[in-house]
């Protein structure tokens, strides 16, 4: 099994105060297996951030991105570069979700809808829930959402057969690890994560679940 925080922002995001080295040390003390750094709309700018990881020790650092589109924000893993700056050049500030998802598919990556029912978000879906149709993974346990917003996401995912993940959406060290994803598989690299998200068994859990419950029973 693997426990991961799939949604963390560092100081490379304009709205986060987290220094990568301090993030790593806290996640290590918490016993997390993976921390995913998903800064807003950047990738190459934080090149080398994985080097803070202790060789042969956890947690594993995997870098993705949180990208705003015309259909909401998504977490993307499997990036090779700032692809939207190349292929989406000249488009509006919020690129087409469909075009972005086609690019992600071509790269062999995976995308997750981030906090889809967050009511105050400028990218809130409103009643147009068909925008979910291209992605079958939803963040239903987000550390910055209200309980009601997470509940809405959970109920929608359950009713429509979507896979569910959790992430802290941390912008301060205090929230790191608050919400997590428990994977049945052992994940040791980015390709493992992508493969697991596409086809493995996993579920969102809280940090208190992680510390107090039998994970083997949880995932079953």
Mean pLDDT of 67-90: 76
Return the percentage of the chain with pLDDT > 70, whole number.
Answer: 87
pLDDT in tens, 36-49: 999 988 777 777 78
pLDDT in tens, 119-131: 655 444 555 556 6
Q: Are 111 and 150 in contact (CB under 8 A)?
A: no
Q: Are 101 and 135 in contact (CB under 8 A)?
A: yes
User: What whole-number distance in Å separates Cα of residue 18 and Cα of residue 88?
Assistant: 29
Query: Residue 14: pLDDT band by 50, 70, 90 thresholds?
Result: confident
For tokens 């598989």, the residue is 185
Q: Which secondary structure element, helix H or strand E, spans residue 66, and what is its range?
A: strand 65-69
User: What whole-number distance in Å separates Cα of residue 121 and Cα of residue 66?
Assistant: 14
Q: ∠25-29-35 over CA atoms, to 5°?
A: 65
Distances in Å between the Cα of 51 and the Cα atoms of 20, 65, 68, 86 are: 10, 18, 27, 26
- Judged by average pLDDT, the poorest of 31-35, 63-67, 179-183 is 63-67
Q: Alpha helix (H) ranges present in the chain?
A: 20-30, 83-87, 97-107, 147-160, 190-199, 207-212, 215-219
Please tell me the predicted confidence (pLDDT) of residue 122.
44
Domains and CATH numbers, the chain: 2-219 (3.20.20.140)
Residue predicted with more confidence, 212 or 8: 8
pLDDT at 79 exceeding the cut of 80: yes
């Amino acid at each position: 099994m693997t426990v991961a925080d799939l949604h963390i922002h560092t100081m490379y995001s304009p709205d986060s105060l987290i220094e990568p080295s301090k993030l790593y040390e806290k996640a290590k003390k918490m016993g997390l297996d993976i921390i995913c750094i998903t800064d807003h709309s950047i990738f190459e700018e934080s090149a080398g951030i994985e080097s803070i990881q202790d060789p042969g020790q956890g947690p594993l650092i995997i870098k993705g991105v949180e990208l705003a589109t015309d259909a909401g924000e998504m977490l993307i893993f499997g990036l090779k570069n700032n692809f939207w700056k190349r292929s989406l050049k000249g488009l509006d500030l919020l690129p087409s979700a469909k075009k972005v998802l086609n690019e992600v598919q071509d790269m062999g990556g995976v995308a997750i809808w981030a906090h889809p029912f967050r009511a105050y978000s400028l990218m809130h879906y409103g009643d147009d829930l068909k925008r979910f149709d291209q992605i079958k993974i939803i963040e239903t346990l987000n550390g910055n959402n209200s309980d009601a917003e997470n509940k809405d996401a959970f109920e929608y995912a359950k009713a429509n057969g979507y896979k569910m993940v959790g992430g802290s959406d941390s912008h301060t060290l205090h929230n790191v690890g608050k919400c997590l994803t428990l994977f049945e598989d052992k994940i040791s690299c980015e390709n493992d994560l992508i493969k697991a998200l596409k086809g493995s068994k996993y579920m969102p859990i809280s940090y208190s679940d992680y510390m107090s419950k039998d994970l083997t029973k949880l995932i079953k």
